[in-house]
Amino acid sequence: DGGITQSPKYLFRKEGQNVTLSCEQNLNHDAMYWYRQDPGQGLRLIYYSQIVNDFQKGDIAEGYSVSREKKESFPLTVTSAQKNPTAFYLCASTDTGVDTEAFFGQGTRLTVV
Amino acid sequence: GESVGLHLPTLSVQEGDNSIINCAYSNSASDYFIWYKQESGKGPQFIIDIRSNMDKRQGQRVTVLLNKTVKHLSLQIAATQPGDSAVYFCAEPYASGGSYIPTFGRGTSLIVHP
């Protein structure tokens, strides 16, 4: 089955630590995205990548970093510079073109303890 | 009823009623729109899409209406069921440097009472 896999489903981070969220897709999509969702809120774009070895900042990139070394993988690191990291993180991918739907993973819920 | 404010807009309906969820968009040049459904603790899933050369598109129990004059989309769900309880987002691709980035509206929480 093709799809997007995010791991872990739940993640706990101590203050001052960096953590990395995994996102893997086998849909052969060029574009991948990371969104943050806070309770009762919409999806805000953190970073996106349209092609391997290239990525762009979204609306709320501060305190986050990404890499895109392989087409299938787009990990997100939440650094200690992110002051309020507790949220639900969603990874998505799309095919190229304007009329294409986004496929989402099941999300990672990050909690700072 | 529907409430707006700091919290997600919410629509409460009885099972069997029809539901209408609304969405306003700002970019008059947008020519493709998608509705997504997000169940609690899960990622959003595609429901239905519509292109700007259409004003209506129907799926199974769902209909999307597009009014380009007032930049408004609506999602109609017929005979709403408890399994329809979820947050619904409208989305449009945002053009940036030759790419199209899925951009989501605020979302509406649909609560279906048995």
Beta carbons of B31 and A40 less than 8 Å apart: no
Q: What pLDDT was estimated at residue B41? A: 92
Angle at B26 between CA B24 and CA B27, to 5 degrees: 130
Q: Average pLDDT of chain B?
A: 89
For B8, the closest of A40, A102, A105 (CB atoms) is A40
Beta carbons of A101 and B89 less than 8 Å apart: no
Write the CA distances from A38 to A11, A84, A89, A112, B14, integer angstroms. Answer: 15, 10, 9, 14, 28
Question: Would you tell me how many other CB atoms lie within 10 Å of the CB of residue A111?
Answer: 11
Report yes or no: A49 and A31 within 8 Å, Cβ to Cβ. yes
Digit-by-digit pLDDT tens for chain A (113 residues) are 679 999 999 999 998 899 999 999 999 999 999 999 998 888 999 999 999 999 999 999 999 999 999 999 999 999 998 989 999 999 999 987 777 899 999 999 999 98
Q: What pLDDT was estimated at residue B95? A: 79
Instruction: Give contacts of B7 with chain A, Cβ < 8 Å.
Output: 40
Asked whether the predicted pLDDT for residue B97 surpasses 80, the reply is: no
Average pLDDT over residues B75-81: 97
For B101, the closest of A6, A48, A103 (CB atoms) is A48
Average pLDDT over residues B21-35: 90
Determine the number of helices (DSSP H) and then strands (DSSP E) in chain A: 0, 11
Phi first, then psi, for residue B82 (nearest 5°) are -55, -30
Partner A, chain B 55-114, Cβ-Cβ below 8 Å: 89, 91, 93, 95-97, 99-107, 109
Report yes or no: A83 and A30 within 8 Å, Cβ to Cβ. no
